[in-house]
Amino acid sequence: MKKTLVILAAGIGSRFGGGIKQLESVGPDGRIIIDYSIHDAVAAGFNKIVFIIRHDIEADFRDRIGDRIEKELSPLGVEICYAFQDINNIPIPLPEGRTKPWGTGHAVLACEGILDEPFAVINADDYYGTCGFRKAADFLEKGEYGLVGYILKNTLSDNGGVTRGICTVQDGVLSGIQETHDIVKTADGAASDGKSIDVQALVSMNFWCLPASFMDVLKKGFPEFLAKMTDPLKAEYLLPIIVDDLLKKGVQVTVLPTEDQWFGVTYKEDKEAVVQSIRSLYDQGVYQEDLYADLA
């Protein structure tokens, strides 16, 4: 069975201020976070990787990431594909002054014609751990909706507030996601806007398992989103909102909980902690110095 991982990388330039130069190495041989996600995915059984990028970062992306990974994974039989998110690829004229990308839903929609199988979606700049990929790879065989859920305390930064989608889960099924901003660590747990938050709550880190039919949902829903948007300069077609609409229509989304530690460089000060965490994973034997050697 084809097991596909879609990696959202089109927003890299806008998040980090141009190009992809801010995706600095965090491991040996100049490895960046995306390397470890791909390693863990292939180890779990994924055999097709789709990078969603923009045309204006294609050359940098291939030079810094894509060509190297394709060379390393080709002997393993892993297919590498590219999809391109284009702000102008919309069924209406581009609103004057619009510079912001159209969001993660629009990004995945760029994969039309590339995806005709169930797939998982992750962010390019988040470290997810090994367990989530194993659970996702197994779950894809069902061809259903799923979300890998992380424990809130395992996703916080020591250097400032973060935004997380806090999940409401009943009998292993997602019933809602509450986007919560500026969640900070406190002496006794976590809080947002002065209100305490359960650090054991499951949160979404945008690690979705989606059936092939989800592409039809995106294709139908995007024009509807454009017709209803109230702010043409900032409105975004986002995966969590799209899935939440499906929940309201009775679609079941299974939550796949993991105790893995998430990390990423939300703040510049986070980088050293990420480097140390990666080094610790090497010391524990999770990764080898020749990263993909254990997959041969």
Q: Are 206 and 167 in contact (CB under 8 A)?
A: no
Q: What is the CATH number of the domain that holds 138?
A: 3.90.550.10
Query: Could you tell me what percent of the chain has a pLDDT over 70?
Result: 96
Most confident residue range from 23-27, 121-125, 212-216: 212-216
What is d(CA 266, CA 276) in angstroms, rounded to the nearest whole number?
16
In the predicted structure, residue 4 carries a pLDDT above the cut 70: yes
Residue 260 counted as domain residue: no
- Assess if residue 158 is contained within a domain: no
Confidence category of residue 34, pLDDT binned at 50, 70, 90: very high
Supply the pLDDT for residue 63. 87
How many domains is the chain partitioned into structurally? Answer: 1
Q: Is residue 86 part of a domain?
A: yes
Return the minimum-mean-pLDDT range out of 41-45, 60-64, 113-117, 167-171: 60-64
In a domain, 179, yes or no: no
Q: Is the pLDDT assigned to residue 12 strictly greater than 80?
A: no
Q: What is the pLDDT of residue 245?
A: 95
What is the rounded average pLDDT of the residues 115-122?
97
Does 123 map to a domain?
Answer: yes
pLDDT of residue 122: 97
Structure confidence by residue, pLDDT tens digits, 186-208: 988 999 999 999 999 999 999 99
Tell me which long-range contacts 278-285 makes (C-beta under 8 A, separation of at least 24). Answer: 278/26, 278/27, 278/31, 278/36, 278/127, 279/27, 281/36, 282/27, 282/28
Among 138, 179, 181, 9, smallest CA distance to 81 is for: 9
| Whether the model pTM is above 0.75 | yes
Mean pLDDT of all residues in 266-292: 92
Residues 18-32, mean pLDDT to the nearest whole number: 74
Rounded Cα distance, 98 and 115, in Å: 28
Q: Given a cut of 90, is residue 270 above it in pLDDT?
A: no
Residue 176 lies in a domain: no
> Percent of the chain scored above 90 by pLDDT?
84
Q: What is the DSSP letter of 267?
A: S
- Taking the CA atoms of the chain, what radius of gyration do you get in angstroms? 19
Name the more confident of 59 and 222.
222
Quote the domain boundaries for residue 13: 4-147+204-253+270-295
Tokens representing 30 are 């100049």
**pLDDT value, residue 20:** 52
Average pLDDT, the chain: 93
- Asked if the model's pLDDT at residue 104 lies above 50, the reply is yes
Does 56 fall in a domain?
yes
Name, in order, each residue with C-beta under 8 angstroms of 32's C-beta and a sequence gap of 6 or more.
23, 24, 25, 26, 65
Asked whether residue 183 is domain-assigned, the answer is no
